[in-house]
Amino acid sequence: MTNESALREQICLLARSLFDRGLTHGSTGNISARTEDGGLLVSPTGTSFGRLDPARLSRFDAEGRLIDGDKPTKEMPLHSAFYDTRSSAGAVVHLHSCHAVALSMMPEVDPDDFLPPLTPYGLMKLGRVKLLPFFLPGDPAMGAAVRGLAGKRSAVMLANHGPVVAGKDIEAACNAIEELEDTARLAMMTRGMPRRALSAEQVQAIVTKFDVEWDA
C-alpha cells in the first residue's frame, strides 16, 4: 500500500469512528490531511463521516488545485485558513458535536477560553480554545476569522455550530477534537455546580511540564 492510500484509509477509518460514536451526525463534519507532496486530501461535500470512500476523497495538489476525486466540502476556506497560518498543521477536523455546541450557547463562556480548565489532557491537547461568533454556513468570514488568529490557536469553536481543530497529523487532530468534545461535556455536566476546576497554578504547571502551546 502506498503512503497515500494508507492515509486515505486512515482518514475514512477515523471519520467512521467519530461518526459511530455520535461525535457528528448526518452529513455534517469535514476532515482534511496533508499528503507527502504538499497537497491535501479532503472529505467531499455532502458526504457522511460514516460512509467516506477512500477512492473519492477530494485531492488537491501543492498549488491548491483540485486534481482528483469529488467536489470538496464547502468549508474548505476554514481548512485552508489553518494550513496557511500554522505550518505545523498536517490535518484539520471539523465536527458538529453536541456538547461543544451546547456549551457555545452558554452566556458565561469566555470567548478567549471556550473550555474551562477541567482536566490536564484537555489543556495538553488543545491549548486555549477560541470561541468565534456565529457565521452563516459557508460564509468566507469564518476562514477570515481563523486567519485573524494568526496561527496562535490550534482549536476554535464556531458558536452554535461546531469545533474545528488542527493537528500535526490526522490522528492528533482527531484525538484533540475528541478531547474538546469531552471537556465540553464535562463542563455541561457540572454546569451550575460548585465544581473545583484546575487552579491557575495547576494550569501553569501543566503548560510548563508538557510544553503546551499557550497563547497568552
N-terminal to C-terminal alpha carbon distance within the chain:
43
Q: 83 an active-site residue? A: no
What are the two backbone dihedrals, phi and then psi, of residue 171, each rounded to the nearest 5 degrees?
-70, -45
Radius of gyration of the chain (CA): 17
The residue annotated as part of the active site, out of 4, 121, 168, 213, is: 121
Are the beta carbons of 151 and 85 closer than 8 angstroms? Answer: yes
Angle separating helix axes 170-189 and 3-20, nearest 10 degrees: 10
**Bridge-partner residues for 93, per DSSP?**
31, 165
Distance CA 203, CA 127 (A): 10
Distance CA 216, CA 14 (A): 32
Of 52, 11, 9, 7, nearest to 174 (Cα)?
Answer: 11
**Bridge-partner residues for 40, per DSSP?**
34, 60
Active-site annotation, residues: 121
